[in-house]
Amino acid sequence: MARLIDRRMGVFLAGLFILTVALPMASSAAAGQLVPAYLVSLVGKYLCYALLAVALDLVWGFCGILSLGHGAFFALGGYAMGMYLMRQIGPRGVYGDPVLPDFMVFLNWQELPWFWLGFDRFWFAALMVMAAPGLLAFVFGWFAFRSRVSGVYLSIITQAMTYALMLAFFRNEMGFGGNNGLTDFKDILGLDLTAASTRTGLFVASAVALAGGLMIARWITASRLGRVLVAIRDAEERTRFLGYRVEHYKLFVFTVSAAMAGVAGALYVPQVGIINPGEFSPANSIEIVIWVALGGRGTLIGAALGAFLVTLAKTVLTGWLPELWLFALGGLFIMVTLWLPGGVLGAIETGLTRLRAFASMRTKEIET
Amino acid sequence: MLDVRNVDLFYGASQVLRSVSLKAQPGKVTAVMGRNGVGKTSLIRAICGRLPVASGQILWNGTDVARWPAYRRARNGFATVPQGREIFPQLTVRENLQTGLACLPRSERRIPESVLDLFPVLREMMDRRGGDLSGGQQQQLAIARALVTRPRLLVLDEPTEGIQPSIIKDIGSAIAWLRDRGDMAIILVEQYFDFARDLADSFVVMDRGEVIQAGLREEMVESDVRELLAV
Amino acid sequence: MKIVLCLPFRPYLAALLMALLVVLPAAGRTAGFEELVERLPHGSYADRAKVIDAISRTGDPRAAEVLNALLEGRLHARKDDGRIVILVDSAGGATAIDALSGENLGGVLAGSTEKIKTNNRLRGMLRTAIGALSLMSPDRETRLMAAQSVFASGDPANIEALDAALAAESDRQVATALAEARAVAILDTDAPVEEKRAAVAILRARGDAAAQAALAPHASDPAIGNEVREALSRIEQAQRVWAIAQNVWYGLSLGSVLMLAAIGLAITFGVMGVINMAHGELVMLGAYTTFAVQEAIRGAAPWLFDWSLLIAAPLAVLVAGSVGIAIERGIVRHLYGRPLETLLATWGVSLILQQAVRTIFGPNNREVGNPSWMSGAFEIGQMTVTWSRLWILIFALAVFFALLLVLRRSFFGLQMRAVTQNRPMAAEMGIDTGRIDALTFGLGAGIAGLAGVALSQIDNVSPNLGQSYIVDSFMVVVFGGAGNLWGAFAGAFGLGITNKLLEPWTGAVLGKILMLVFIILFIQKRPRGLFALRGRAAEA
Amino acid sequence: QTAPIKVGILHSLSGTMAISETTLKDVMLMLIEQQNRAGGLLGRPLEAVVVDPASDWPLFAEKARELIEKDQVAAVFGCWTSVSRKSVLPVFKELNNLLFYPVQYEGEESERNVFYTGAAPNQQAIPAVDYLMSEDGGGVERWVLAGTDYVYPRTTNKILEAYLKSRGVAPEDIMINYTPFGHSDWQTIVSDIKAFGSAGKKTAVVSTINGDANVPFYKELANQGISAEDIPVVAFSVGEEELAGLDTAPLVGHLAAWNYFMSVDTPENADFIAKWHAFIGDESRVTNDPMEAHYIGFNMWVKAVEKAGTTDPDAVIDAIVGVSVPNLTGGFSTMMPNRHITKPVLVGEIQENGQFSVVWETPGLVVGDAWSDYLPDSAKLISDWRAPMSCGNFNVELGRCGGA
Amino acid sequence: MSGSLLYLSGVTKSFDGFAAINGLSLVIMPGELRAVIGPNGAGKTTMMDIITGKTHPDRGQVFWKEKVDLSRIDEVAAARLGIGRKFQKPTVIDSLTVAENLELALKGQRGLTARLFGRSSRTMHADIMQIADRIGLAASRNDLAGTLSHGQKQWLEIGMLLAQDPDLMLVDEPAAGMTDEETMRTAELLRSIAGHRAVIVVEHDMDFVRALGCKVTVLHQGRVLAEGPLDFVSANPEVIEVYLGR
Ligand SMILES: Nc1ncnc2c1ncn2[C@@H]1O[C@H](COP(=O)(O)OP(=O)(O)OP(=O)(O)O)[C@@H](O)[C@H]1O
Ligand SMILES: Nc1ncnc2c1ncn2[C@@H]1O[C@H](COP(=O)(O)OP(=O)(O)OP(=O)(O)O)[C@@H](O)[C@H]1O
Ligand SMILES: NC(N)=O
Ligand SMILES: [Mg+2]
Ligand SMILES: [Mg+2]
């Protein structure tokens, strides 16, 4: 365990813990709403993104698989949760149909499609949250890795995958609500989604999931298996000659990562209140890559920080500079690449080292 | 003539060259020797301009070129046969040779026959991709490519590595021939002692980034040098 | 649940009603040409239809011109005295000609006349009427158009006119058109069976969808039903073949668009290995350059309009190319050896470029017109080929082969490939890598700009233009095999044609999905694209 | 008390929808400025709070929450796509605020907190089809329903299909075609339309093609030489703004159905256009239907606030039903109890100058119908947010409100 | 061949019509040390590619322990059968340390779960230390392999081969870039290894080959030109002509 939590991870988890405890408290009525209540869900959303970034960093940073389709796994997890939430509405839909969601009613669907069955049960949905993206990743990866598709070729076909899914989910015939997606959720596990306590619960769940995701990723990468992953990233051919079934290793992390992304999506949906095919858009997946690159690839915590920072910047800037924010965000991306080659985390660490060196110099000076 | 003076070089925080000095004169071969990892290649790279030196001078006919970009040095007569060959894998053999023409005025942009005479195997492989050649063939191509630029300073980093004996002899005589033409200064990094001894006019022996012995061939005692190269 | 609220106080509705009351009785009796023309501005569209019909029957020699002016929206009523005038463009504005007397009434002020409105139905009628009236026109083109519009109407009332025209016609093509128009009309009369059979044969020879539509109602005619059915099945067969040809053409044309969009990327990404997310925005800059050029031309030198694209093309290369060079020198240069970070930085660039264009040109679509040589279509057999698509195809091929020549045959091309394969070694061979890098990136960007000029002819010119092509461009380059120009070529046309052959079967949405699935599967078979490098060289 | 009243503006200023929505942000700023010049509201100045939801649907919800919770706006004017509206809906319900939605949409919705100032299908689609069936419209018998594959076109086409069948159109005379968002290669579809239209019966295209795809669609129509006399296209999403990106000369005669056209000749409209040009500083900028919808919606809100004497949402919601304000086509629009408004329906023909010329209009105003009469499950529902019904989905068969 | 470890029979491989290997036959017995020499481009590396499953021959068979046909399996399977390889161009995992590179190569489980749950044992550490010592990299065992010099990478790769402990080692030009003394050390090392396992060495350094003191196979144009003790083959006029030079 000690090896799992190094200093960096320790500091991060401690920070996360403080945030998890402090934010709901500060926003509660009891504390006189030190911060607006909506921050709980907002930060919860960031945490989901951070988990997604960690999932991508696991495959990209440690195994060299640049997936430009991770948004698809996130979205599938989100849809699995969304379907559960839709079924929870029950007869409270506008047409009062006890089974069919509203979008099916007005487009004349007569019965629930088979793939919606079971989603009225939470355990089933929770399983599907991981199983659906996991299975997709497994099947996709099985073929791609076995055929030794790698590098940009792999990146582009993952992009093709998410793009194809986006188009498919846009189709109303698919039975997932088309462009409008799934919305107007009412409650989860019988708890009112608009209640502050539910929100806090989801927020805490997201924090726990992020911590869990980080630990799992850390456990994998710090294990002896992690070394194989790095070997694959740096010299795939060579690793084969050492007798490692490269495709199995890739498949394993790819699937784990997809399931992790699915969990992130599932926690995201009840907090933002909608899941729609836009989540499958290639641009979304590229954004995930951006978070990781900005935070520091191959560092896990950097990925989480990157997601947090970029989405926070987006929130702040879209409100503060609605017509100029793209300039600011674009400029930020350029500056980070040019001036912070190790990403934000790298910069923080070099900064800290310098500071420490400076501090120790000062103490020495004082001593002498 | 090339005069390297007190060059320091770092990879990040670790210093690999410490105040290294070396001279190379036209018509002469300077051999650089040393065990693995002592900094020979790093020195070569500093001379060619691939790596920036932290301090020191690289004088080329009196001008300090230490801050010049690599291509400018090449255009002023530097040519390199790097360790590991560094053939352009997806260019054909002919195109690999043609890259050296960038140093020459437009009117002289031709591959000289003399270069191909030196390595006849390349003639047969003109249209094959460089990356498809065998290791030894690539090494020959790398030397030929350097010669296409009509250098006045030729730097060879372990040119016999991976070459069959008969061609090593050919390369040896080629270097001797180039030396004897008298217009070219040659720096030869070599671990193959006999080969170096036969060609060199002067020696530099390095250890841990420093020159530990230097001098003319006549001044060098074989057993001493072998001693220095041993672990 | 629908409630219609009537609000009778709406003023102009009431006025319309009044006008109706006045005009309606007049339409009943036969009237002279002049009176009919005077009546045109008044009444509803239905009334106007009756008036037009009556005018075309007067046989008045002025009828064709008046109706033509009405069709083209040049027939106006003067507001002060109600005189009907035809407006003709003249230097410094419009000149009015009295529709009845032909008297030149001099220039008119904007707003002093009111256009006599038409709608689609009236325009259809007008075309037929004008057609019947201009079958004998001295101008060949006019006669041809006339024959075609009479064909479209299929009105037996025109048979006499057609006969007369046919007798006088010397041009073969016009004569055929007249005969076809007559054939359609004959089918609706009770002409003798023999004559009808001949008509069926003529239409069968014509063989297009219009002939099919004309024949179809007579398929169960007891007299000629057999011939008609036979002719119809022949036409259908021929059309199936043409449909395939047509789809292949569509595929080629889609392919040419994909190639144009992708080919710049084949250089920056395929050859240089820079994941250039701003590629689409460079295409967009080319399109906006075209817009700016056209805007300038519209303002300063309208006669140059047909040349606008030729002027825009080099400027687009310049604009996009310079931006490309700026991106390379400012950002990408520092990131060689860190290819994935170029993704982050160029994504930033793309955001900035998008927003910059939005700020400068506004968020809306901008209008880029087609020069006359890029407008319209021509037919090859039963296949329609639009000029814009044909020119884009030619343009794409020209760009492709020019680029191929540069890369393969020029010394610049050689240096460029050497630099991208091993930058430090290239420098040691005396190649100014910085310059070559900048020029290569600039070349890729410039070609993206060229693509923008072409795309402005068929797509939106909006800040989103680039985003809509970037994904497809990457697919094309990778499908073909990065690093190989022929790969981009084969990728673009392969995907274009496959897509267009799929589309009629599956519809556009499913077609696109299948296309993507196809790419995914294809890459399994050829993990390094269609034109993959093989052998050791590829691994090195 | 002179603390400003804040008004939220929730329109995308970047991303794919910026193309349509940016103008709506501008028109809102203009309306607010005018209101302030006229003395504000309840003696307080109005203050616009502009945010950019960036065409990102979940971000719409986030921004809506931010506007309401952080900025404490009194009402929000915003959204274009249905999905963005769906995304923010729960937020407005939960936080009990007002959303004015200015775009034509598929209907099937009636929420207490949302005011639909754009057209419902019965205020646009059905009258347009009626027109085309009429003698003046060319007596169309064969129909191509072409749309982008998403909910608005799907629903509208479902309604139209049912409506056309109820008017005796045979199923083989209806062709339905869907394309992806941003579809740009229309060669195949346009030639299919041509083929479908050459069967002898008068054919028309009803287009629910979404914004971006329209330009290439019309360019292809023009290039393949489909003239409005042969096969007219009537569009529900193409207005003056979309035409501004096109050379309209080859498109003359194609149609659009809206509740407003810039060319409408009324003093109110002339005044509006003049003010718009002055505000935006560009004489070439056009106006369009959703802008009018915001004009109406804003004035209704102002009037309701004045009536209620407060900006308190509950009070305004109660006050606004029945409020009637002038629209720009020479009449008045009234907020109905079902949260939709009364509007005239106009059919316009594209002119060479990029404007529409009105060729037909409904004799009176049409009330927006939240629940289509042509969809079986929806026909049973009516909406009336006044007491005692107080719901948006009263089921006449069951005699009670559905859902929660 | 009875009792053979490796048996190539009539193997042919062409690239775009050029026959790199042309009817090559070769037998290696268990524990044998064999030197393969031959002109540049003779097909030595290609032969190793074929034995390790990287390249599949157009014709001919490659038998492993008389049973397994190596021409049908891939590199991973070949490695798991016990065939280890050092490349002509040294390839190590740049962002792992020397010790980690060795650990990765260390004989043992290659399976996913084993590596995920397994922990490194004391004996593994000892083995790694011992090998690092043997290749002269003990001091730099915690340096990243990417920062090693060319020759050091050669050594590391040899070390990885040792760690793998295969039945057959294919060593492509191990002495390239080494000093003469190191070259001799390498020869000694390989000699000591042989016996327990078979070793095929490709080298152009005749002193080195002599030091190996084993049977020599001369390859030329993809087939065996001569075979026997070094002195025997180096007296062969054809070998002198195409390879050694006069
Ligand atoms: N990219 C690098 N980063 C950090 N250190 C490096 C790098 N390249 C080489 N070194 C270190 O620098 C030192 C000198 O390396 P160099 O390649 O110059 O040695 P060399 O004398 O050429 O050795 P060889 O004979 O093995 O080629 C070595 O200790 C090596 O570990
Ligand atoms: N993938 C390939 N495509 C084309 N030619 C190839 C390929 N692989 C090898 N060759 C050719 O096959 C021949 C044999 O190459 P190989 O590398 O096996 O030689 P070698 O005996 O190892 O030479 P060296 O001693 O120089 O390393 C060479 O002429 C080489 O050019
Ligand atoms: N509501 C619309 N037009 O999406
Ligand atoms: Mg070296
Ligand atoms: Mg070899």
> Residue B13: nearest ligand to its CA?
1
Please answer yes or no on whether C509 and D179 come within 8 Å at the CB atom. yes
Pick from C286, C293, C328, C289: nearest CA to C307 = C293
Whether the pLDDT of residue C29 is over 50: the answer is no
Residue D124 has φ and ψ, to the nearest 5°, of: -150, -60
Q: What is the pTM of this model?
A: 0.91
Question: Do chain D and chain A touch with ≥3 beta carbon pairs under 8 Å?
Answer: yes
Atom of ligand 1 nearest to the CA of B38: 21
In contact, A62 and E96? CB cutoff 8 Å: no
> Does C384 touch chain D if contact means CB atoms closer than 8 Å?
yes
Predicted local distance difference test score (pLDDT) of residue A173: 84
- Location of structure tokens 């994998």: A220
For the beta carbon of residue C531, count every other beta carbon within 10 angstroms.
20
| 3-state class (DSSP) for residue D146 | strand
Q: Which of A310-319, B189-198, C153-162 has the highest mean pLDDT?
A: A310-319
What residues contact C462, with CB distance under 8 A and at least 6 apart? C363, C364, C365, C366, D19, D212, D245
DSSP string, E126-170: HHHHHHHHHTT-STTTTSBGGGS-HHHHHHHHHHHHHHH--SEEE
- pLDDT category of residue C535 using cuts at 50, 70 and 90: low
In contact, A66 and A233? CB cutoff 8 Å: no
Predicted local distance difference test score (pLDDT) of residue D403: 64
Predicted local distance difference test score (pLDDT) of residue C89: 81
Distances (CA, A) of C2 to C200, D313, D368: 50, 28, 8
B96 → chain C, closest CA residue:
C418
| CATH number, position B219 | 3.40.50.300
| 3-state class (DSSP) for residue E59 | strand
Longest dimension (CA), chain C: 97
Q: Is the CB of E239 under 6 A from ligand 2?
A: no
Q: Pseudo-torsion of CA A356, A358, A359, A360, nearest 10°?
A: 90
**C48 vs D93: CA distance, rounded Å:** 54
3-state DSSP helix/strand/coil % of chain C, to nearest 5:
70, 5, 25
Q: What is the pLDDT of residues E196-241, one digit of tens each?
A: 889 999 999 898 999 999 999 999 999 999 999 999 999 999 999 9
Q: What is the mean pLDDT of residues A102-109?
A: 86
Residue A115 half-sphere exposure toward CB, CA atoms < 13 A: 7
Query: Residue A321, exposed/middle/buried by CB under 10 A (0-12, 13-18, 19+)?
Result: middle
Compute, in angstroms, the gap from residue D140 CA to the centroid of ligand 3. Answer: 26
**C399 vs C483: CA distance, rounded Å:** 17
Q: What is the pLDDT of residues E165-182, one digit of tens each?
A: 999 999 998 888 777 888
Q: Under CATH, to which class is E6-244 assigned?
A: alpha beta
Kindly state the percentage of chain C with pLDDT values over 90: 33
| 3-state class (DSSP) for residue C231 | helix
Fill in the amino acid letter for B34.
Answer: G
Q: What is the pLDDT of residues A216-254, one digit of tens each?
A: 999 999 988 999 999 999 999 899 999 999 999 999 999
Predicted local distance difference test score (pLDDT) of residue A263: 98
| 3-state class (DSSP) for residue E110 | coil
Beta strands in A203-327 (DSSP E): 274-275
What A186-194 contacts at long range (C-beta under 8 Å, 24+ apart), as own/partner pairs, is A186/A85, A186/A88, A186/A89, A186/A92, A186/D404, A187/A88, A188/A84, A188/A85, A188/A88, A188/A270, A189/A122, A193/A85, A193/A270, A193/A273, A194/D90, A194/D94
A221 → chain E, closest CA residue:
E116
Q: Is the CB of D103 under 6 A from ligand 3?
A: yes
Higher pLDDT, C64 or B5: B5
Predicted local distance difference test score (pLDDT) of residue C9: 43
Q: Is the CB of D101 under 6 A from ligand 3?
A: no
- Location of structure tokens 């002023």: B76
Domain around B172:
2-86+152-230
Distances (CA, A) of C335 to C429, C470, C537: 22, 21, 24
Mean model confidence pLDDT for chain C? 86
Q: What is the mean pLDDT of residues D61-76?
A: 94
Range of weakest confidence among A231-240, C3-12, C343-352 = C3-12
Q: Is the peptide bond before E237 cis (omega within 30 degrees of 0)?
A: no
Predicted local distance difference test score (pLDDT) of residue D1: 58
In contact, D48 and D7? CB cutoff 8 Å: yes
> Does D179 touch chain C if contact means CB atoms closer than 8 Å?
yes
For the beta carbon of residue C139, count every other beta carbon within 10 angstroms.
10
Predicted local distance difference test score (pLDDT) of residue A2: 44
Range of weakest confidence among A346-360, D44-58, D320-334 = A346-360
In contact, D92 and D114? CB cutoff 8 Å: yes
Of C355, C384, C468, the CB nearest to D191: C384
Mean model confidence pLDDT for chain E? 90
148-167 in chain B: CB under 8 A from chain C: 149
* Shortest Cα distance, chain A CAs vs residue E188, angstroms: 24
**C404 vs A362: CA distance, rounded Å:** 63
In contact, C229 and C244? CB cutoff 8 Å: no
Q: Is the CB of D81 under 6 A from ligand 3?
A: yes
In contact, D205 and D194? CB cutoff 8 Å: no
D265 interaction partners in chain C (CB closer than 8 Å): 12
> Does C358 touch chain D if contact means CB atoms closer than 8 Å?
yes
Query: Degrees (nearest 5) of the Cα angle A95, A177, A109?
Result: 55
Q: Pseudo-torsion of CA C138, C141, C143, C145, nearest 10°?
A: -150
Atom of ligand 3 nearest to the CA of D105: 1
Residues with beta carbon < 5 A to ion ligand 4?
B 40-41, 83; E 150
Q: Tell me whether residue B200 is in a domain.
A: yes
DSSP bridge partners of B60: B2, B63
Whether the pLDDT of residue B107 is over 50: the answer is yes
Q: What is the mean pLDDT of residues C313-331?
A: 96
Whether the pLDDT of residue C230 is over 60: the answer is yes
B144 → chain C, closest CA residue:
C429
Q: What is the mean pLDDT of residues C301-318?
A: 93
Q: What is the pLDDT of residues A157-208, one digit of tens each?
A: 999 999 999 999 988 888 999 889 999 899 999 999 989 899 999 999 999 9
Q: What is the mean pLDDT of residues C350-357?
A: 94
- Estimate the crossing angle of helix D289-308 against helix D313-320, to 10 degrees: 110
Residue A167 half-sphere exposure toward CB, CA atoms < 13 A: 22
Domain count, chain B: 1
Q: What is the CA radius of gyration of chain B?
A: 17
Q: What does the domain layout of chain E look like in residue ranges?
A: 6-244
D331 interaction partners in chain C (CB closer than 8 Å): 7, 10
- pLDDT category of residue E59 using cuts at 50, 70 and 90: very high
Kindly state the percentage of chain E with pLDDT values over 90: 61
> Does B137 touch chain E if contact means CB atoms closer than 8 Å?
yes
DSSP H or E run through A325? helix A325-339
DSSP H or E run through A246? helix A246-272
Residue C15 has φ and ψ, to the nearest 5°, of: -60, -40
DSSP string, D40-88: -BTTB-EEEEEE--TT-HHHHHHHHHIIIIIS--SEEEE--SHHHHHHH
- pLDDT category of residue C319 using cuts at 50, 70 and 90: very high
Q: What is the pLDDT of residues B56-100, one digit of tens each?
A: 999 999 999 999 999 999 999 999 999 888 999 989 999 999 999
In contact, E95 and A235? CB cutoff 8 Å: no
Residue E104 half-sphere exposure toward CB, CA atoms < 13 A: 31
Whether the pLDDT of residue A336 is over 50: the answer is yes
**E1 vs E66: CA distance, rounded Å:** 7
Residue C158 has φ and ψ, to the nearest 5°, of: -90, 0
What residues contact C242, with CB distance under 8 A and at least 6 apart? C381, C382, C383
Predicted local distance difference test score (pLDDT) of residue A365: 57
What residues contact C355, with CB distance under 8 A and at least 6 apart? A324, A326, A327, A330, C463, D14
> Residue E176: nearest ligand to its CA?
1
Size of interface A-E (CB pairs under 8 A): 72
**D242 vs D212: CA distance, rounded Å:** 8
